[in-house]
Structure 1
Amino acid sequence: MATKIIHRNLPQLLLKAREALLSHFRGILTHYGLTEQQWRILRTLHEQGEMEPNQLCQACQILSPSMVGVLTRLQSMGLIRRERATYDHRRIIISMTPASQALVAQIAPLIEAQYRLIEKTIGRDIINQTYAQIDQLLNTPLDQVPSVPLPDQP
């Protein structure tokens, strides 16, 4: 008989929560011709300023091979610039263009309005508690959790 797993599947629950929330924003992004990954990049650049691709990967939780394609599409859409860093010509800096700044200015009020509708429906307290719990989880040293020893393969 197999060992029963007693812990709930936390990664899967977090994915379900992400999808449930993201479904309320997807229509806005689609209306403006953006994918979720493209929006994550534009919002991050809007909030944090220009970045190197590896910094964007980390901030947006997008793997490097995928990031290359997304950045290429954003550049072809005229929404980002790639320039060599003045301090080190081997490095590339990604920044917003006037077109992407205008696009974010159009989308931001809709995103904010959608957040207000979510808060009105489920309550600001739940949203604030969720932010606090997620911040607490992300501020714990999860990288210091040891891995279970794996048995030898037969």
Structure 2
Amino acid sequence: MKSNEQLNNVVNFLLEQTVRQMRGYAQRQLDTLQAGITVDQWVILKIIEERKQISQVELAQVAQKDTASITRILDLLQKKGLTQRIDDEYDRRKYMISLTKDGEAFVMRNLPFVNEIRSQIVRGLSPDEIQNLKSILEKIRSNLGQGSSDVFP
């Protein structure tokens, strides 16, 4: 960042502000469901739904969250009856995470609503603009590499 550049013109700052706004919007919309679920919990449910079974370590990597956060989220989801821990048949120290039948039904029931949230977020963007945005974001992620924490506005 140049010393005379306004913070509102810095890409990192704009991305951070956009992410905060998107998460806030998505959470407000999820709250209208009165399902008692957060954006982070939805993301975890969706990852598990897509993978069918996943280890907690792999789940943390895919979600890009630390294992302590994943444990807290999984504990909450398990109390709600949406996920379950299954012992790993090859390693008794490990277990796999999967959705319960209620969890599968929850995801399927709420997926149209979540897709509507996603559509609202990109409303007004053409398919080409959305694809360009995805490409740009992937380049930025690639520039940062895995686990980079030295980027700031």
Normalised by the length of structure 2, the TM-score is: 0.78
Preserved contact between residue 78 and residue 97 of structure 1 (Cα < 8 Å): yes
Per-residue deviation at 1:39? 0.8
- Where do 1:79-98 residues align within 5 Å? 79-98=82-101
Distance in 2, Cα, partners of 1:27 & 1:106:
18
Give the total of aligned pairs.
143
Report what 1:71 is aligned to. Answer: 74
Q: 2:45 aligns with which of 42, 57, 61?
A: 42
1:15 aligns with 2:16: yes
Distance in 2, Cα, partners of 1:49 & 1:35:
21
Distance in 2, Cα, partners of 1:59 & 1:9:
28
Per-residue deviation at 1:10? 4.2
**CA offsets per residue over residues 29-48 of structure 1, 9 Å max, x none?**
22221012211100111122
Greater relative contact order (Cα < 8 A, sep 6+): 2
Distance in 2, Cα, partners of 1:88 & 1:37:
28
The runs of 5 or more residues in structure 2 that have no matched partner are: none
Name segments (4+ residues, structure 1) moved above 6 Å: none
Distance in 2, Cα, partners of 1:52 & 1:139:
25
Report what 1:4 is aligned to. Answer: 3
Distance in 2, Cα, partners of 1:50 & 1:64:
17
SS of structure 1 residue aligned to 2:89: coil
Distance change >3 Å, CA 40–CA 140, structure 1 → 2: same
SS of structure 1 residue aligned to 2:98: strand
Letter in 2 for 1:94: I
Distance in 2, Cα, partners of 1:66 & 1:115:
24
Question: Alignment identity in percent?
Answer: 22
Normalised by the length of structure 1, the TM-score is: 0.78
Report what 1:135 is aligned to. Answer: 138
SS of structure 1 residue aligned to 2:110: helix
Which has more radius of gyration? 1
Per-residue deviation at 1:94? 0.7
Letter in 2 for 1:125: D
Report what 2:116 is aligned to. Answer: 113
What is the RMSD of the two structures over their aligned residues, measured on CA atoms?
2.6
Per-residue deviation at 1:21? 2.2
The runs of 5 or more residues in structure 1 that have no matched partner are: 148-154
Per-residue deviation at 1:133? 1.1
